[in-house]
């Protein structure tokens, strides 16, 4: 019985260590782009002052106010998105999201997190 408990606790320790290492890797490397979400939940503040000293607008001219607010709510800074859509980007959006959803977003529908993560390679 003593041998079983020793093996059991060593196995739990190894599993715990692997989980810690995996968590650190996912946070540091950020392969899924979740660091902005974590910062928004923990209250990480972003600088809202530009180099000229005036408050930053934090909006993207290509997005509607509702789209800008949705992106801000999930921790994505709309100003980091491109302010001009190239034909290559548009083709990529249509390929990734499909014609129906891309047209809905183009006409003012709010993008979901799924839409963002699906099409983020187009940026």
88 vs 107: CA distance, rounded Å = 19
Q: Which of 28 and 5 is assigned the larger pLDDT?
A: 5
Q: What does the domain layout of the chain look like in residue ranges?
A: 1-31, 57-123
Render pLDDT for 11-49 as a digit per residue (tens, 0 to 9): 999 999 999 999 999 888 888 877 777 777 766 554 444
Contact of 122 with 82, CB cutoff 8 Å? no
pLDDT in tens, 40-76: 776 655 444 444 433 445 677 777 788 778 777 777 7
Locus of tokens 């980091």: 80
Token pair belonging to 66: 């509702």
Does the pTM exceed 0.85?
no
DSSP at 49: B
104 CB-near residues (< 8 Å, 6+ apart): none
DSSP 54: S
């Amino acid at each position: 019985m003593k041998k079983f408990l020793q093996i059991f606790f060593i196995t739990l320790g190894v599993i715990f260590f692997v989980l810690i290492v995996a968590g650190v890797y996912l946070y540091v490397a950020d392969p899924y782009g979740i660091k902005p979400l974590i910062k928004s939940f923990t209250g990480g503040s972003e600088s809202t002052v530009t180099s000229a000293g005036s408050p930053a607008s934090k909006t993207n001219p290509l997005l509607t106010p509702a789209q800008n607010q949705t992106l801000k709510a999930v921790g994505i800074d709309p100003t980091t998105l491109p302010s001009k859509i190239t034909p290559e980007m548009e083709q990529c959006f249509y390929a990734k999201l499909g014609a129906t959803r891309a047209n809905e977003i183009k006409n003012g529908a709010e993008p979901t997190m799924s839409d963002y993560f699906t099409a983020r390679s187009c940026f």
